[in-house]
Amino acid sequence: MSTVVVIESVLPHLTTEELRRVEEAVHQQYRQRKDAIVCDDSYGVVTETDLIASADQAFLAYDKEEQEHAQRKAR
């Protein structure tokens, strides 16, 4: 079993405080690696991967709305 699978399997059983500590540890890893960090503030770290995922969700929502609009006009 991979380390990531083990970590993911344990997460649901952690307390909120333990999850906060894990999140902070992950943010610290990003900071130490200085890899693809777009924003780093008291709320956490935003990476290029986060921005790409957000943009992808926005484009999917836009495409869905555009498709629904086109179907309404075609009727």
Domain ranges of the chain: 1-35, 36-75
Between 72 and 18, the more confident residue is 18
Q: Which residue type sits at 45? A: V
Residues 21-60: pLDDT tens digits?
Answer: 998 898 888 888 877 788 888 777 888 888 999 999 999 9
Angle, alpha carbons 54-57-63 (nearest 5°): 140
Token pair of 27, please? 């943010």
Residue with tokens 């690696």: 33
Contact 53/70 with Cβ under 8 angstroms? Answer: no
DSSP reduced 3-state for 21: helix
Residues 14-30: pLDDT tens digits?
Answer: 999 999 999 889 888 88
